[in-house]
């Protein structure tokens, strides 16, 4: 596990964007796994900025998003991750629609949708997975108690996640721990004081279902990028 500490959120977002841009330049058909939430907001801004300046071309990449609320409610569509990704990133860059993969929070056959998603990832292995981390140690929506061999599935959100994300959704779809672990390279981003304790537990503690992010310790190419506040206890 490589750990990089940068000064602040601005520097973290710059570095994450640079890593993605360099990888896309090196491999124009890169398969990228994307996360949502507050942490990558500036990363997406930076990627859009670089695209507008002609510094990067996304036309050959494929994307898979980590998670989605389920079932999507009409009145809360704006809080869906499909809406987030479209607004913050996809509508501003040149990724072909057919190369974008999102979990379907409207699916009528959820077991089949999750299986199909897992198969799509198997056929298009993720080269670079971007992750955030929940204060309870979740990655994607793999909440505490998630198994190491878990795959894409429906999960119950923990009360702390529902509160922190300010949603009324109680369930979600997420790539599993084993799905995430198959990514060739992982970049986990953490910013701010609220993430300091979980980063400490992930790095210093032992692997445990109680802290799903701890499974990442066994990944062979993971870089954790923290800013000073998130890295203050390590
Ligand atoms: C979102 C996701 C979540 C978030 C985590 C941190 O797609 O996978 O695991 O990364 O909840 O969220 P923020 O960045 O809002 O603190």
Q: How many Å apart are CA 99 and CA 59, to the nearest integer?
A: 9
User: For residue 65, which atom of ligand 1 is closest to its CA?
Assistant: 7
User: Which residue's alpha carbon is at the smallest distance from atom 3 of ligand 1?
Assistant: 140
Q: How many Å apart are CA 51 and CA 90, to the nearest integer?
A: 11
77-106: pLDDT as tens digits = 999 999 999 999 999 999 999 999 999 999
15-52: pLDDT as tens digits = 999 999 999 999 999 999 999 999 999 999 999 999 99
* Catalytic annotation present for 200: no
Residue 99 Cα to ligand 1 midpoint, Å, equals 23
Q: How many Å apart are CA 189 and CA 46, to the nearest integer?
A: 15
Round the CA-based radius of gyration of the chain to a whole number and report it: 16
pTM across the whole model? 0.97
pLDDT at 224: 98
- Mean pLDDT of all residues belonging to the chain: 97
* Catalytic annotation present for 207: no
CB 169 within 8 A of CB 74: no
User: Which residue's alpha carbon is at the smallest distance from atom 10 of ligand 1?
Assistant: 132
Residue 36 Cα to ligand 1 midpoint, Å, equals 6
| CB-defined site of ligand 1, < 6 Å | 35-39, 66-67, 132-134, 138-140
Angle at 23 (CA atoms; ends 19, 24), nearest 5 degrees: 120
With b for 16 or more beta-carbon neighbours within 10 A and e for fewer, the 163-196 pattern comes to: ebbebebeebbbbbbbbbbbbebbbbbbbbeebb
Residue 8 Cα to ligand 1 midpoint, Å, equals 18
* Catalytic annotation present for 67: yes
Residue 75 Cα to ligand 1 midpoint, Å, equals 22
Q: How many Å apart are CA 209 and CA 190, to the nearest integer?
A: 20
44-79: pLDDT as tens digits = 999 999 999 999 999 999 999 999 999 998 888 999
With b for 16 or more beta-carbon neighbours within 10 A and e for fewer, the 84-94 pattern comes to: bbeebbbebbe
Does pLDDT of 10 surpass 90? yes
* Catalytic annotation present for 138: yes
């Amino acid at each position: 596990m490589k750990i990089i500490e940068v000064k602040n959120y601005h520097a973290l977002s710059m570095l994450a964007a640079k890593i993605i841009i360099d990888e896309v330049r090196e491999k124009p058909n890169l398969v990228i796994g994307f996360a949502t939430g507050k942490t990558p907001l500036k990363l997406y801004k930076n990627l859009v900025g670089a695209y507008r300046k002609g510094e990067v071309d996304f036309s050959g990449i494929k994307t898979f998003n980590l998670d989605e609320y389920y079932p999507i409610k009409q009145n809360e569509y704006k809080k869906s991750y499909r809406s987030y990704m479209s607004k913050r990133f996809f509508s501003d860059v040149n990724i072909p629609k057919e190369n974008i993969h999102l979990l379907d929070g409207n699916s009528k056959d959820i077991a089949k949708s999750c299986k199909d998603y897992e198969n799509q990832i198997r056929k298009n292995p993720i080269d670079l997975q971007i992750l955030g981390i929940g204060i309870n140690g979740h990655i994607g929506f793999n909440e505490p108690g998630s198994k190491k061999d878990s795959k894409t599935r429906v999960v119950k959100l923990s009360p702390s996640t529902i509160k922190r994300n300010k949603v009324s959704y109680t369930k979600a779809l997420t790539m599993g721990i084993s799905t995430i672990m198959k990514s060739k390279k992982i970049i986990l981003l953490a910013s701010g004081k609220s993430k300091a304790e979980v980063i400490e537990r992930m790095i210093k503690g032992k692997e445990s279902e109680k802290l799903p992010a701890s499974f990442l310790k066994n990944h062979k190419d993971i870089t954790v990028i923290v800013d000073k506040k998130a890295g203050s206890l390590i």
